[in-house]
Amino acid sequence: MATLSRDEVARVAALARIDLSPTELDRLAGELEVIVQSVTRVSEVATPDVPATSHPLPLSNVFRADVPVAPLDRDEVLAGAPAALDGKFLVPQILGEEA
């Protein structure tokens, strides 16, 4: 596979609107080349008989079942509040009287 040139890295950086110094361009060209080689190596190993996977261990849904339950009683909930008014929590006003 052809190596990534400094000009190719500069072009991609310009498309992404990233301003890179000459030193950064040289460094990134080498780093991106290592990434491209790694992807190429994985692509060679990934044959049709190897299933695609997003995680090395099998996972199952860890969430509880979504079962409807009775709602909390409003009076019980408001009994624990510092202040309530007309069946709602009463909180200090933080905005001006605009509205």
pLDDT per position as a tens digit, 40-89 = 888 887 778 877 777 788 778 778 888 999 999 999 999 999 999 999 99
Distance CA 29, CA 9 (A): 6
Cβ-Cβ contacts under 8 Å for 44 (sequence gap 6 or more)? none
In the numeric block, which tokens belong to residue 38?
A: 């790694």
pTM greater than 0.75 (yes/no): no
Q: Identify the pLDDT of residue 14.
A: 94
Task: Report the CATH architecture of 6-45.
Answer: Orthogonal Bundle (1.10)
Q: Identify the pLDDT of residue 43.
A: 81
CA 20 to chain CA centroid, nearest Å: 26
The full set of domain ranges for the chain reads 6-45
